[in-house]
Structure 1
Amino acid sequence: MSARSDRRALLKSAGAAALAGLAIRPAAAQKIPGGTLRILVGFPAGGGTDVMARYIADKLRERTGANVIVENRAGASGVIAIDALKKAPTDGSVIMYGTAATTVALTVTRKTPGFSLDKDMVPIGLTGLTSTVFVVSPRIGVGTLADYTAWLRRNPDKHTFGTTALGSNTHFFAVLLGKAIGTPLEAVGYKGAAPLLSDLMAGHITAGCGGLTDFLTHHQAGKVKIIALSASRRLPFAPDLPIVSELGHPSLGYEGFYGFYGPPGMAPGLVEAWSQELKACTESPDLKQKLYNTGLDVLTAGPAEFAARQTALVQSFGDMMRKAGHSPE
């Protein structure tokens, strides 16, 4: 049985409790509504989440003829978009494209995240998996994690790394990686990937950590070097990236996700209709390639498996936070 099959089995068993709360059940076949459809995105235009949402919106227009609008509700680490979803009509005209870096991570790292995973959003379907990467500046001349570890020992005053968000899973991943290689790393917070990338390319900071979707194209262009990837397997669209299990640190492996949510109270039939339509869009060869190019490991799943994956990841992120020596704030 493959690693992915093993994960599927575990997720299915984890899903029973999640589904009881969500009340997702078989319903008569429905179709998504026509007219104007809105996709909420919790981040500014031009970022990885927005770009993927627009690719998907284009395919939805092509397949359905609907007027599909991507609506950026940026701010508060994605919570503003969730708040808009909570207040959205339940007729299927509004959905949200979200990431575990918001929905799961904020649930784990904040005492009062401003939303409830169980009450304020309904999982519709998984779009794909995303991984955390640890990168180095090309200015320091290292190409592997072993090289970087040796470089740190020669430069004991350079043990800092930039993170795209303090108190996030990417921050914790780098802290745990430092512990694993025996050279503790100290985080420097940045307001997103763009300023961190700028400092990495200029050599103002020697290392950084964030989502693969933020760094892949820059790695491919030689502007930064990815030396560790949290994915459970080598990625078919980026096979050169070394995964942590191959580097001797399998306990650091994890994957986040991107997927779609509906507002609370959306009818099960509409949830299923949207799930099927989004699955068909995402699995079309041209869209799949575009999503691969952004760094998304495309994997579709319906409401049940999506809910189960979310439940499992809450536990995983919580464990990561505690091992990194942090607690909810």
Structure 2
Amino acid sequence: MNRREFIVLGGAVAALATSRVTLAADWPNKSVVVISAYPPGGTSDIIARLVADLLTAKFGQQFVIENLAGAAGALAGGKLARSAPDGYTILVSGSAPIAANKVVQTNLAYDPEADFTPITIVAESPALLTASAKAPAKTLQELIAYAKANPGKVNIGNPGAGTKGHICAALIGLQTGIELNHIPYKGSPPLLADLLGGHIDFALDAPSNYLPHIKDGKIHGVAVTSAHRIGELPDVQTVAEQGLKDYEQTLWFGAVGPKGMPADIVSAIQKTIKDWIDTPAAKEKLASLGLTAVANTPEEMRSEMAREIESIKPLVTAGLVQPS
């Protein structure tokens, strides 16, 4: 997925470009850095590039992606926390650097709740559990049975420690009592490459990168973590359908600024994203990636950050997620 593909925004982007906004101190009067916490190609980076394109069209200045991958997003989060709160640096990412890292990283150089200004959650999706062609199980119940018969032999990859893929797998282990080895990768692309190559049997991650390979039969969709099946994979059952009653987990991708970012700039960015989210083109584009539009308020995002942080603490207490 590249920047050119996102200019399917079409009429929506054109409308944004013709209604540019002037804010206090003429923001923006120079380029703005959009930090992407993961390597190019993964869902988090796709969302960051989408947001950068939208804001460039709206405000007439370049919103430039800076990929700063590493330490499950902690490098990106640390840079944002050290940035001036002038509206010229924002972070667009999955939830790990924005929330989970507070719990799963012991020496984190920032506190996401204290050091970030929430802007909006752009989109959400279930996590997707996938299996390689060589995997010993193709359904969740087969995986559980195999793990019980072969303790310590099931490896499940995730795009980084503390990511929602990691958390979702830990919850499956907690509810079933099986032992899973959680293997963190530096983003989705290398995880997918190892899954396709048969170097790891299972992965839990956002769906978008995996959808075409499931449809081509190169890997198998095992389960989705949402309450309902997703339209792109109607034959893949939910975790709850496969025996884990009431199991429901979603991933989200949001935008934040440094602490003290001016409220009018926050509002302008949030409104730009929401205006696009409200278009049919946006919903269609996000659905093709296995995503659902959100565009909530900064206050709602702050509440979701806190909820996610609290939800991970029991997993740490139980030793299923080890702080690094």
The TM-score bracket by the shorter chain reads 0.7 to 0.9
Indicate if the aligned counterparts of 1:38 and 1:94 stay in contact, CA closer than 8 A. Answer: yes
Indicate if the aligned counterparts of 2:124 and 2:253 stay in contact, CA closer than 8 A. Answer: yes
Aligned with residue 91 of structure 1, among 61, 81, 86 = 86
SS in 2 for 1:40: strand
- Distance (whole Å) between structure 2 residues aligned to residue 97 and residue 222 of structure 1: 32
Q: How is 1:114-129 mapped onto 2 (pairs within 5 angstroms)?
A: 114-129=109-124
What do residues 72-129 of structure 1 show as CA deviations (whole Å, max 9, x unaligned)? 2233322222233233343323322122122222111122221112321100111011
Corresponding position of 1:101? 96
- Distance (whole Å) between structure 1 residues aligned to residue 319 and residue 99 of structure 2: 17
Corresponding position of 1:164? 159
Indicate if the aligned counterparts of 2:72 and 2:162 stay in contact, CA closer than 8 A. Answer: no
- Distance (whole Å) between structure 2 residues aligned to residue 209 and residue 236 of structure 1: 18
When residues 245 and 100 of structure 1 are mapped into structure 2, their CA distance, relative to the original with a 3 A threshold, is: same
Q: How is 1:289-328 mapped onto 2 (pairs within 5 angstroms)?
A: 289-323=284-318, 325-328=320-323
Indicate if the aligned counterparts of 1:52 and 1:291 stay in contact, CA closer than 8 A. Answer: no
When residues 97 and 199 of structure 1 are mapped into structure 2, their CA distance, relative to the original with a 3 A threshold, is: closer
When residues 150 and 314 of structure 1 are mapped into structure 2, their CA distance, relative to the original with a 3 A threshold, is: closer
Instruction: Give the deviation of 1:251 after TM superposition.
Output: 4.8
Task: Confirm whether residue 33 of structure 1 aligns to residue 32 of structure 2.
Answer: no
TM-score, normalised with respect to structure 1: 0.78
What do residues 187-210 of structure 1 show as CA deviations (whole Å, max 9, x unaligned)? 344443333323322333322223
Aligned with residue 275 of structure 1, among 270, 284, 289 = 270
Task: Confirm whether residue 246 of structure 1 aligns to residue 241 of structure 2.
Answer: yes
Q: Which moved more, 1:116-125 or 1:226-235?
A: 226-235
- Distance (whole Å) between structure 2 residues aligned to residue 73 and residue 327 of structure 1: 23
What do residues 21-78 of structure 1 show as CA deviations (whole Å, max 9, x unaligned)? xxxxxxxx95783442331212223332222221222233334433222222233322
- Opposite residue 295 of structure 2, the aligned amino acid is T
Aligned with residue 286 of structure 1, among 247, 266, 281 = 281
What do residues 260-295 of structure 1 show as CA deviations (whole Å, max 9, x unaligned)? 112211122222222111211333333333333333
Aligned with residue 210 of structure 1, among 205, 210, 231 = 205
Corresponding position of 1:187? 182
Q: Count residues in correspondence.
A: 301
SS in 1 for 2:130: strand
Q: Which moved more, 1:103-112 or 1:76-85?
A: 76-85
Indicate if the aligned counterparts of 1:40 and 1:94 stay in contact, CA closer than 8 A. Answer: yes
- Distance (whole Å) between structure 2 residues aligned to residue 40 and residue 302 of structure 1: 21
Instruction: Give the deviation of 1:249 after TM superposition.
Output: 1.2
When residues 89 and 298 of structure 1 are mapped into structure 2, their CA distance, relative to the original with a 3 A threshold, is: same
RMSD of aligned Cα (Å): 3.0
Corresponding position of 2:68? 73
- Distance (whole Å) between structure 2 residues aligned to residue 279 and residue 153 of structure 1: 46
- Opposite residue 290 of structure 1, the aligned amino acid is K
Aligned with residue 57 of structure 1, among 32, 52, 72 = 52
SS in 2 for 1:39: strand
Aligned with residue 107 of structure 2, among 102, 112, 124 = 112
SS in 2 for 1:249: coil
